[in-house]
Amino acid sequence: MERRAPTPPDDPDRTDPLRRLSLEELRRRTSIKWRTHPADVLPLWVAEMDVPLAAPVVRAITDAIGLGDTGYPAGTAYAEALAGFARRRWGWQGLAVPRTMIVPDVMLGIVEVLKVVTRAGDPVIVNCPVYPPFYPFVAHMDRRVVEAPLGPDLRIDLAALEGAFRQAATGGARAAYLLCSPHNPTGTVHSAEELAAVAALADRYGVRVVADEIHAPVVAPGTAFVPYLSVPGAESGLSLMSATKAWNLAGVKAALAVAGPAAADDLARVPEEVGHGPSHLGVIAHTAALRDGGGWLDALCAGLDDNRRLLAELLAEQLPAVRYRPAPGTCLAWLDCRRLGLGDDPAAAFLARGRVALSPGPDFGTGGAGHVRLNLATSPEVLTEAVRRMAATPT
């Protein structure tokens, strides 16, 4: 009988990566999270995570450096790794490697894909409050952002979406819908039924769906992420995915644009030069993460879920006026602080007087005033101290 080696109890990829680095170690980092504010500020804003890298990622990058393998990227290993991940994690068999393209990162991929499915002046619909860069990136490419607010339950409001689709499709515009799935900042994980309803609406009004699925791997244990392209009726959709958020790889850039069967020709129209942007090291890192980083990801998702519960408890004890609905997606928490009396931008008060940096709600568009976004991807100790500082912030 074949004997399998047991997982060593000290295998670092099986322990919560959020509990492994000290604040002192983290403060030596030079990335934007750690260098934007002075050292007395606790940073829980931008979606970087306070984790060491997954061991397979470290190995892959270190081996590449050792070999001097720092040329241009080649081949389809990244797309194959994503297709394998999609089969294992989401039971989705439909990610066809020939219908993928490597792009520099998710935001630039979104821009390139929107450029081929819309024209200058056309509307791009978003579900506000939403990831702030959606606004300037869309405006910069001469498209118009149209807001279809989330419902009070922080889920897609299909009636509002239909209204926006109907309006956008009038007068011959080629409208697109930039879906954020799971949703940043609320952490909402859209259901298969919701996504199928989106696809049906998009089909009815001739709106092209571009799904930003960068947070897809980061869902609570027991929650099913549903890829947009896997739902019935989504054949003309496009998706942007990468390992960036789940494995903290924003500094080693590479992402994938994935086309549904009826969008392959559109993806083929993305200019070849876009493929010159991604870094070979990025492709190597992302491939290793998706192929071999599942154990690390499980530990991360469990740790984030612990932090969701901890945050809910801490807020209930110390800041009961803050409304928080824990949601299973992303590493982010969206906090309604309107009852604190800190005005439209509570993050400004928490920063200036509490010395804790959160993301300002108004940046997320309509519905963001009075809110803050808190990044849960930190240790329970840092999270506890952050809430203590928030609670101690004078009004």
Which residues are near ligand PLP by CB under 6 A? Answer: 47, 105-107, 131, 180, 184, 212, 214, 242, 244, 250, 255
Radius of gyration for the chain, computed over Cα atoms and rounded to the nearest angstrom: 21
Are residues 193 and 224 in contact, defined by beta-carbon separation less than 8 angstroms? no
- Residue 16 DSSP one-character state: -
* Closer residue to ligand PLP in complex, CB, 282/370: 282
- The gap from C-alpha 371 to its chain's centroid, in whole angstroms, comes to 19
* Closer residue to ligand PLP in complex, CB, 278/370: 278
Go through 53-64 and write b for each residue having 16 or more CB atoms within 10 A of its CB, e for each that does not: bbbbbeebbeeb
* Closer residue to ligand PLP in complex, CB, 212/305: 212
CB of 178: closest distance to ligand PLP in angstroms? 10
CB of 102: closest distance to ligand PLP in angstroms? 12
Are residues 357 and 45 in contact, defined by beta-carbon separation less than 8 angstroms? yes
CB of 4: closest distance to ligand PLP in angstroms? 37
CB of 217: closest distance to ligand PLP in angstroms? 13
CA distance 200 to 236: 11
Are residues 221 and 230 in contact, defined by beta-carbon separation less than 8 angstroms? no
CB of 250: closest distance to ligand PLP in angstroms? 5
* Closer residue to ligand PLP in complex, CB, 230/244: 244
The CB-side HSE value for 287 (13 A sphere, CA atoms) comes to: 20
* Closer residue to ligand PLP in complex, CB, 51/255: 255
Alpha helices by DSSP H, the chain: 23-26, 32-35, 55-67, 77-90, 106-117, 134-140, 158-168, 192-205, 244-247, 264-268, 280-292, 294-318, 346-352, 380-391
* Closer residue to ligand PLP in complex, CB, 188/242: 242
* Closer residue to ligand PLP in complex, CB, 214/258: 214
CB of 108: closest distance to ligand PLP in angstroms? 6
Q: How do beta strands 42-43 and 356-357 pair?
A: parallel
- Can you tell me which residue has the tokens 């670092």? 12
CB of 147: closest distance to ligand PLP in angstroms? 16
